[in-house]
């Protein structure tokens, strides 16, 4: 987007050039970087005017100025800006230094415009392509956000290959509504839906009263290819995101994909191969005859002795989770074009196996981006992306039937024999309803996605004059995908056989079709009355449509080995349609006085079919001010101060009610063949409205020593009013919950970032970045009675929404309950989060690594409890929990069951070496001898993800969420797919 705008501006400047050129003086020159490499497309602008040109491929430029002497500003993305006074027409040679944190980088402020970072009043995070894939390529885009900026909590729901992450910006933004940011790619609103595969029909996970998605599906943002991304901008809260109105309360992630560059077509081929393995195996309990008798009964002792004497003690954890999954990641891209038409195209293929046999993720992505300048005043950008992905997710997480691989493994003792015989017949698990080896080898849980994302932006310069101009920006985007889920549980599975109470095989097949399209048009008017002032006005309208229709067929009683849903005794069908239409308008005025003061005022109006009154407009204002003290002339050009800015911004944004919140409805059921309607348990509110978020943020950006050291600090206060709550209601009403606007929530947070280059010379350079984030939330007002939410009840530890408490507090029954009858045991909110980013280059070696530290934040860990109940916990006999030192950990945890939830609430702090990469770049000297010097660059290296993990959490990984990532109530663990670490070897070739 920002590039688009820049190009518009350049086109505009080109156009202005002949009008105002009286051919006074023509100045020529070159722009190079510190290595003497020409910088193409650098901006050369006569200071205080709109007269400017860009350099050509060789970094050369010609600019005509009215008078001499004059001052030219030279700038380019990623470089510091240089001003040079020109007194004569002799050729000018300008060297631009690479900037650590480029002040000239542009960021989004309006829907159609951008602003220089140095003038921004918001702490907008920006992540470059280098940061996304430079150290190690992430499996999915959202996995690249870990630790890259302050203000986000990124959490993986499980270790299943193919994603399933949640990104939460600046704390708790909603209790019932969406908490995931809005994703926009090249102007297209893209879906990040997680569509469950209907496994509940087998796992009955939601039967225990937790009617929430526990199927662990992929979130659809995983479809994007990280290699295609040029830049990601994160608008963390309402103050920056107000322009996106009613969908922006959880923040907005604006992704720009790579564009073509004019000139010789450049190709890049990158191949990575590697492996993944379990991050933290727990081990098994060591059994003795006495322990077997205590936990499995006297009859099992003989089995144990027989297995032990025959050497058949099996590590089933290793059997299931011990695979080394193979990873291959191939990416090919080409970019090129001429002045009028530029294109970028790529193809990538990712194949990742999981740490469980027969799980994996395979994705093929094709992209074509075309930018075309039709005339001097008309420019068209087109981006298109096709993705095919297949993920085999395995069968994990909570269940109430003892059938998932995770839950059934908790009941497996090492002396059991679960391996198939010579005929491939699996024995039944004597201590559970499922043989996990059989389920792993026979069951299928597969998601297949075919997706198109396309966007077109048209920039039309309607009117141009020396002091003002008017442009029209029109944009259309389409996101379309078909998702097929196939969950097959063959009839020979232990829990499917009728004699074991099974339904003789289940085939659950889902088909989802999603279509989202968005249309927008904006008029942008620039007015530059004199050198000191500039005004930019924009106004536009937006319209968005979203349609998701899911059909789920659940067939049981399968015929022979057929899996087609018609080849079955019983077939259930379920269709769910979610339709939504939003429309709105947007106006914004931006005033800039000498870059000293930059003020913005804006207003968005929005309506949505999800509101009680679909055609009522809701308004979201914003206002901001940035003051650049370094532009006041207090410091001369030689000063160490490059930037000294104070900024303050206020904005409001909304969060739409969940689909269907306005309705009180029935569901359709049957009884012995008789159809029936029974209430679905949710009391709707026909007057439901948006949640309204109001955010005030202020901070400072300081940069010294030519950008070698910079600091940014931001404090924000974010309140959310009219909280939409699916609050518990007295069950004697006949409803389980009611949807109401009732309550307020406040988040306070601080974000700090320090970036610097402690050392730099021609051979060695060390860049370091540290960011820090802390958020605290409080429910400031609650219009309904306090309620428990998001876990399995107070006995086992639960979230509780209560006035005056953190929105993510964890409470439970306990020996010292408060006035509400519950004891507070923790809070899912971390005390703070920090990341340490390092990039070291020595000659041709690049080493980069990222440490991420999450301090505090608690989980509800029920995996340990399930293993305790079966007497299989790895620490069952260790004694370090019982304060009296009497009971082993297993018996102690069990003794607490029903009297205290304390043992189930665990500290989920961690310190990780999140990313590490070491690369070698072959020198031009070496390459020039190969293939006639056609090779421009070769880079080889190793990288890893999560290679070092330090945590004191009694399970596979403190980063986990049984209920997926859509709510703030993550961190509940029930036998997840364990997390893994990755190790990759890379080869990249530019030619």
Q: Which of residues 660-679 bind other proteins (CB under 8 A)?
A: 660, 663-679
The conformation of residue 79, written as its DSSP 8-state character, comes to B
Token pair belonging to 299: 């009859």
**Which of 326, 579, 842, 845 touches other proteins (CB under 8 A)?**
579
Judged by CB under 8 A, the chain residues 712 through 731 that form the site for other proteins are 728-731
What is the contact mask toward other proteins in residues 811 to 850, using x (rule: CB under 8 A)?
A: --x-------x-----------------------------
Nearest residue to 520 via CA among 257, 191, 188 = 188
Smallest separation, CB 663 to other proteins (Å): 4
Nearest residue to 763 via CA among 846, 848, 847, 841 = 841
Specify the stretch interacting with other proteins by CB under 8 A; choose among 117-125, 528-536, 865-873, 976-984: 865-873
Cβ closest to other proteins, residue 96 vs residue 508: 508
Which parts of 288-399 are beta strand (E)? 325-337, 341-353, 360-375, 378-392
On the question of a cis peptide bond just before residue 445, with omega within 30 degrees of 0, the verdict is: no
Judged by CB under 8 A, the chain residues 155 through 184 that form the site for other proteins are none
Alpha helices in 120-256 (DSSP H): 129-133, 200-203, 238-241
Number of neighbours of residue 187 by Cβ within 10 angstroms? 22
Specify the stretch interacting with other proteins by CB under 8 A; choose among 44-52, 579-587, 621-629, 756-764: 579-587
Specify the stretch interacting with other proteins by CB under 8 A; choose among 114-122, 347-355, 588-596, 787-795: 787-795
User: 759 - beta bridge partners?
Assistant: 766
Nearest residue to 186 via CA among 367, 445, 405 = 367
Per-residue burial over 271-286, b if 16 or more Cβ lie within 10 Å, else e, is: ebebbbebbbbbebbe
**Which of 787, 799, 910, 953 touches other proteins (CB under 8 A)?**
787
Report the phi/psi class of residue 258: left, alpha or beta, with left for phi > 0 and alpha for psi in -120 to 50: beta
How far does Cα 352 stand from its chain's mean position? 19
- Give, in order, the Cα–Cα distances in Å from 517 to each of 191, 487, 730: 10, 30, 40
What is the contact mask toward other proteins in residues 735 to 774, using x (rule: CB under 8 A)?
A: xx--------------------------------------
**Which of 42, 152, 201, 235 touches other proteins (CB under 8 A)?**
201
Nearest residue to 902 via CA among 815, 790, 809 = 815
Tell whether residue 410 is a contact of other proteins (CB under 8 A).
Answer: yes
Tokens 């019983």: give the residue: 570
Tokens 């050039």: give the residue: 17
Token pair belonging to 579: 């339709």
Judged by CB under 8 A, the chain residues 500 through 529 that form the site for other proteins are 500-501, 503, 519, 521
- Give, in order, the Cα–Cα distances in Å from 172 to each of 178, 237, 501, 718: 10, 11, 43, 10
The conformation of residue 661, written as its DSSP 8-state character, comes to T
What is the contact mask toward other proteins in residues 349 to 378, using x (rule: CB under 8 A)?
A: ----------------------------x-
Nearest residue to 417 via CA among 498, 308, 493 = 308
Cβ closest to other proteins, residue 41 vs residue 822: 822
Specify the stretch interacting with other proteins by CB under 8 A; choose among 37-45, 187-195, 295-303, 380-388: 295-303
Cβ closest to other proteins, residue 511 vs residue 990: 511
Residues that bind other proteins (rule: CB under 8 A) add up to a total of: 110
Judged by CB under 8 A, the chain residues 436 through 475 that form the site for other proteins are 460, 462, 472, 474
**Which of 411, 654, 699, 769 touches other proteins (CB under 8 A)?**
411
Cβ closest to other proteins, residue 460 vs residue 911: 460
Smallest separation, CB 412 to other proteins (Å): 11
Cβ closest to other proteins, residue 87 vs residue 670: 670
Rg of the chain in Å (alpha carbons):
30
| Dihedral sign from CA coordinates of 961, 965, 966, 967 | positive
- Give, in order, the Cα–Cα distances in Å from 226 to each of 138, 348, 393, 579: 7, 10, 21, 30
Cβ closest to other proteins, residue 201 vs residue 235: 201
Cβ closest to other proteins, residue 670 vs residue 761: 670
Q: Are 754 and 767 in contact (CB under 8 A)?
A: no
In order, the DSSP letters of 872-906 are --TTTT--SS-TTS-S-HHHHHHHHTTT--GGGEE
Distance CA 499, CA 476 (A): 57
**Which of 78, 430, 856, 937 touches other proteins (CB under 8 A)?**
430
Specify the stretch interacting with other proteins by CB under 8 A; choose among 279-287, 626-634, 697-705, 790-798: 790-798
**Which of 315, 318, 785, 803 touches other proteins (CB under 8 A)?**
785
What is the contact mask toward other proteins in residues 537 to 566, using x (rule: CB under 8 A)?
A: ----x-x----------x-xx---------
Counting Cα atoms < 13 Å in the Cβ hemisphere of 833 gives: 27
| Dihedral sign from CA coordinates of 806, 180, 737, 571 | negative
Tell whether residue 211 is a contact of other proteins (CB under 8 A).
Answer: no
Tell whether residue 578 is a contact of other proteins (CB under 8 A).
Answer: yes
Judged by CB under 8 A, the chain residues 872 through 901 that form the site for other proteins are 894-895, 897-899
**Which of 246, 333, 431, 962 touches other proteins (CB under 8 A)?**
431
Distance CA 91, CA 28 (A): 5
Specify the stretch interacting with other proteins by CB under 8 A; choose among 48-56, 159-167, 174-182, 792-800: 792-800
Cβ closest to other proteins, residue 467 vs residue 616: 616
Judged by CB under 8 A, the chain residues 896 through 955 that form the site for other proteins are 897-899
**Which of 128, 364, 400, 513 touches other proteins (CB under 8 A)?**
400
Cβ closest to other proteins, residue 92 vs residue 811: 811
Smallest separation, CB 557 to other proteins (Å): 7
Cβ closest to other proteins, residue 167 vs residue 493: 493
Smallest separation, CB 607 to other proteins (Å): 5
The conformation of residue 38, written as its DSSP 8-state character, comes to B
Distance CA 863, CA 399 (A): 12
- Give, in order, the Cα–Cα distances in Å from 540 to each of 8, 588, 601, 602, 664: 18, 9, 15, 12, 36
Judged by CB under 8 A, the chain residues 106 through 165 that form the site for other proteins are none
Judged by CB under 8 A, the chain residues 602 through 631 that form the site for other proteins are 607-609, 614-615
């Amino acid at each position: 987007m920002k590039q688009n705008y820049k190009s518009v501006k350049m086109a505009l400047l080109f156009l202005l050039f002949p009008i105002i050129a009286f051919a006074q003086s023509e100045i020529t020159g070159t722009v190079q970087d510190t290595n003497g490499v020409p910088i193409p497309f650098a901006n050369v602008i006569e200071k205080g005017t709109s007269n400017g040109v860009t350099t050509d491929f060789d970094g050369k430029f010609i600019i005509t100025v009215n008078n001499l002497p004059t001052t030219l500003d030279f700038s380019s993305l990623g470089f510091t800006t240089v001003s040079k006074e020109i007194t004569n027409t002799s050729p000018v040679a300008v060297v631009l230094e690479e900037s650590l944190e480029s002040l000239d980088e542009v960021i989004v402020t309006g829907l159609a415009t951008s602003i220089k970072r140095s003038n921004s009043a918001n702490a907008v995070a920006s992540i470059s392509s280098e940061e996304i894939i430079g150290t190690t390529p992430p499996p999915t885009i959202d996995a690249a956000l870990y630790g890259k900026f302050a203000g986000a909590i990124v959490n993986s729901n499980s270790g299943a290959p193919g994603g399933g992450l949640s990104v939460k910006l600046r704390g708790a933004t909603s209790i019932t509504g969406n908490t995931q940011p809005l994703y926009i790619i090249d102007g297209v609103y893209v879906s990040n839906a997680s569509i469950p595969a209907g496994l509940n029909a087998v796992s009955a996970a939601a039967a225990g009263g937790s009617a929430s998605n526990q199927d662990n599906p992929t979130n659809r943002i995983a479809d994007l290819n990280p290699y295609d991304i040029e830049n990601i901008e994160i608008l963390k809260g309402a103050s920056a995101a107000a322009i996106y109105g009613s969908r922006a309360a959880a923040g907005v992630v604006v992704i720009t994909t790579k564009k073509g560059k004019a000139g010789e077509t450049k190709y890049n081929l990158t191949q990575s191969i590697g492996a993944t393995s379990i991050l933290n195996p727990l081990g098994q309990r060591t059994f003795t005859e006495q322990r077997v008798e205590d936990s499995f009964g006297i009859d099992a002792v003989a089995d144990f002795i027989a297995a032990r004497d025959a050497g058949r003690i099996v590590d089933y954890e290793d059997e299931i989770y011990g695979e080394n999954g193979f990873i291959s990641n191939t990416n090919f891209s080409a970019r090129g074009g001429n002045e009028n038409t530029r294109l970028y195209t790529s193809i990538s293929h990712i194949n990742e196996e999981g740490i469980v046999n027969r799980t994996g993720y395979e994705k093929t992505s094709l992209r074509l981006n075309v930018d075309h300048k039709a005339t001097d005043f008309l420019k068209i950008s087109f981006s298109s992306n096709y993705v095919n992905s297949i993920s085999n997710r395995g069968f994990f997480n909570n269940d109430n039937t003892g059938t998932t691989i995770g839950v059934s493994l908790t009941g497996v003792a090492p002396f059991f024999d679960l391996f198939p015989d010579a005929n491939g017949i699996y024995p039944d698990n004597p201590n559970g309803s499922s043989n996990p080896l059989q389920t792993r080898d026979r069951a299928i849980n597969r998601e297949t996605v075919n997706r198109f994302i396309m966007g077109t932006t048209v920039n039309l310069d309607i009117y141009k004059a020396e002091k003002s101009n008017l442009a029209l920006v029109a944009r259309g985007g389409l996101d379309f995908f078909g998702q097929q889920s196939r969950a097959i549980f063959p009839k020979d599975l232990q829990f499917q056989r009728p004699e074991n109470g099974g339904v003789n095989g289940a085939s659950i097949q889902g088909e989802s079709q999603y279509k989202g399209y968005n249309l927008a048009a904006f008029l942008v008017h620039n007015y530059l009355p004199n050198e000191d002032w500039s005004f930019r006005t924009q106004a536009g309208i937006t319209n968005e449509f979203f349609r998701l229709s899911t059909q789920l067929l659940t067939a049981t009683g399968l015929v022979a080995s057929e899996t087609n849903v018609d080849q079955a005794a019983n077939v259930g069908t379920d269709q769910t349609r979610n339709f939504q239409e939003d429309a709105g308008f947007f106006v914004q005025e931006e005033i800039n006085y000498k870059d000293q003061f930059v003020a913005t005022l804006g207003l968005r109006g929005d309506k949505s079919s999800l509101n009680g009154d679909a055609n009522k407009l809701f308004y979201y204002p914003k206002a901001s001010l940035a003051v650049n003290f370094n532009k006041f002339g207090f410091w001369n050009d030689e000063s160490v101060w490059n930037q000294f800015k104070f900024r303050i911004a206020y904005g409001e944004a909304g969060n739409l009610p969940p689909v269907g919140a306005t309705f009180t409805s029935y569901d359709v059921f049957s009884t012995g063949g008789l159809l029936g309607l029974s209430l679905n348990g949710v009391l709707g509110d026909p007057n439901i409205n948006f949640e309204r978020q109001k955010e005030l943020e202020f901070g400072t950006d300081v940069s010294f020593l030519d950008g070698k050291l910079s600091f940014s600090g931001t404090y924000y206060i974010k309140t959310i009013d009219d909280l939409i709550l699916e609050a518990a209601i007295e069950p004697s009403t006949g409803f389980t919950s009611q949807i109401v606007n009732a309550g307020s929530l406040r988040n306070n947070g601080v974000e700090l970032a320090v970036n610097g280059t402690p050392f730099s010379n021609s051979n060695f350079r060390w860049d370091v970045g540290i960011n820090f984030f802390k958020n605290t939330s409080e429910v400031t007002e609650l219009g309904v009675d306090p309620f428990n939410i998001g876990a399995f009840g107070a006995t086992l530890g639960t979230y509780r929404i209560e006035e005056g408490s953190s929105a993510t507090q964890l409470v439970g029954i306990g020996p010292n309950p408060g006035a509400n009858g519950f004891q507070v045991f923790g809070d899912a909110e971390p005390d703070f989060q920090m990341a340490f980013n390092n990039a070291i280059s020595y000659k041709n070696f690049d080493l980069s690594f990222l440490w991420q530290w999450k301090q505090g934040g608690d989980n509800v860990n029920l995996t340990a409890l399930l293993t305790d109940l079966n007497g299989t916990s790895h620490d069952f006999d260790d004694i370090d929990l019982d304060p009296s030192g009497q009971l082993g950990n297993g018996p102690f945890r069990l003794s607490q069951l029903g009297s205290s939830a304390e043992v189930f609430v665990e500290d989920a702090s961690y310190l990780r070496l999140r990313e590490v990469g070491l690369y070698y770049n072959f020198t031009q000297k070496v390459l020039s001898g190969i293939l006639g010097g056609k090779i421009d660059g070769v880079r080889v290296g190793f990288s890893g993800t999560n290679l070092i993990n330090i945590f004191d959490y009694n399970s596979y990984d403190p980063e986990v969420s049984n209920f997926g990532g859509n709510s703030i109530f993550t961190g509940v663990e029930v036998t997840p797919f364990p997390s893994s670490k990755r190790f990759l070897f890379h080869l990249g070739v530019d030619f």
